[in-house]
Chain A
Amino acid sequence: MDSENKITSWRNYQKKIADDHYFFVRSCIRQTFFPGSERAFLTIMRDVLGRDVLDDPRHTSCTGIAYHSDVIPLQTIMTVVARHFALMTEAGYSNFLVSCVTSFGIYNEILHMWEHHPEILAETREHLWKATRREFQVPANVVHTSDTIYKFRNEIFAKAKYSLTSRNGESPLRIAEHVGCHYAKIFPDKGEGGAEFPKVLSGMIESWGGEVLDYPERRHCCGFGFRHYVVRENRGYSVANTRKKLESLAPLKPDLILANCPGCTMFMDKWQYTLGEMEGVTFGADGRGIPVLTYEELAGLVLGMDPWELGLQMHQVDVEPVLKKMGIVYAPEKKYLNAGGQYIGKPMVPDYCCL
Chain B
Amino acid sequence: MSYLEMLNEDVRFRDGLKACISCGVCTAICPAAEFFDYDPRKVMIIVQKHREEEIESLLRGETIWNCGQCMSCKTRCPRENTPGMVIQALRKVSQESGLFVHSVKGRQQLKVKRSVGDNILEYGYCVHPDTLLPDQHPEQGTVWEWIYENRKEVYERLGANIYREGAGAVRKIDDESMEELRAIFRETGGERMFQLIEYYSEE
A residues near B (Cβ < 8 Å) are 26, 28-29, 31-32, 35-36, 38-39, 55-61, 63-66, 68-76, 78-80, 83, 105, 113, 116-117, 120, 127-128, 130-132, 134, 181-182, 185-186, 188, 195, 220-221, 223-228, 230-237, 239-241, 270-271, 273-274, 308-309, 311, 313-316, 337-339, 344-350, 355
Please give the distance in Å from A241's CB to the nearest CB on chain B: 6
Q: Are A80 and B184 in contact (CB under 8 A)?
A: yes
Q: Which residues of B contact A70 (CB under 8 A)?
A: 88, 91-92, 95, 109, 112
CA distance A134 to B181 in the complex (A): 12
Q: Are A188 and B75 in contact (CB under 8 A)?
A: yes
Among A57, A132, A224, the most chain B Cβ lie within 10 Å of the Cβ of A57
CA distance A345 to B142 in the complex (A): 12
Q: Are B32 and A225 in contact (CB under 8 A)?
A: yes
B residues near A (Cβ < 8 Å) are 10-12, 15, 31-32, 35-36, 65, 68-72, 74-75, 88, 91-92, 95, 105, 108-109, 111-113, 115-117, 119-120, 124-129, 132, 136, 139-147, 150, 153-161, 165-171, 173-174, 176-178, 180-181, 183-190, 193-194, 197
Q: Which residues of A contact B108 (CB under 8 A)?
A: 227, 231, 233-234
CA distance A186 to B178 in the complex (A): 30
Q: Are A223 and B31 in contact (CB under 8 A)?
A: yes
Q: Are B143 and A315 in contact (CB under 8 A)?
A: yes
Q: Which residues of B contact A308 (CB under 8 A)?
A: 157
Pick from B36, B75, B145, B194: contact of A348, CB under 8 Å: B145
Pick from B74, B173, B188: contact of A127, CB under 8 Å: B188
- Can you give 18 A-B contacts (C-beta < 8 A)? A32-B169, A35-B158, A36-B159, A39-B160, A59-B177, A65-B116, A65-B126, A66-B120, A80-B181, A185-B75, A186-B75, A240-B35, A270-B144, A316-B144, A338-B150, A338-B154, A339-B157, A347-B146
CA distance A225 to B88 in the complex (A): 13
Q: Are A273 and B142 in contact (CB under 8 A)?
A: yes
Q: Are A68 and B75 in contact (CB under 8 A)?
A: no
Q: What is the chain B residue whose CB lies nearest that of A227?
A: B112
**With A63-B126, A227-B108 as given contacts, are A76 and B190 in contact (CB-CB < 8 Å)?**
yes
**With A195-B75, A225-B70 as given contacts, are A71 and B109 in contact (CB-CB < 8 Å)?**
yes
**With A35-B159, A74-B11 as given contacts, are A224 and B68 in contact (CB-CB < 8 Å)?**
yes
Q: Are B158 and A311 in contact (CB under 8 A)?
A: yes
**With A32-B128, A237-B36 as given contacts, are A131 and B112 in contact (CB-CB < 8 Å)?**
no
Q: Are B143 and A314 in contact (CB under 8 A)?
A: yes
Please give the distance in Å from A182's CB to the nearest CB on chain B: 7
Among A75, A185, A337, A355, the most chain B Cβ lie within 10 Å of the Cβ of A185
Pick from B11, B116, B153, B183: contact of A69, CB under 8 Å: B116
Q: What is the chain B residue whose CB lies nearest that of A60?
A: B124
CA distance A161 to B146 in the complex (A): 31
Q: Are A32 and B35 in contact (CB under 8 A)?
A: no
Q: Are A32 and B165 in contact (CB under 8 A)?
A: no
Q: What is the chain B residue whose CB lies nearest that of A194?
A: B75
CA distance A26 to B171 in the complex (A): 11
Pick from A57, A78, A237: contact of B166, CB under 8 Å: A57
Q: Are B141 and A131 in contact (CB under 8 A)?
A: no
CA distance A117 to B12 in the complex (A): 11
Q: Are B158 and A39 in contact (CB under 8 A)?
A: yes
Q: Are A71 and B193 in contact (CB under 8 A)?
A: yes
CA distance A130 to B166 in the complex (A): 26
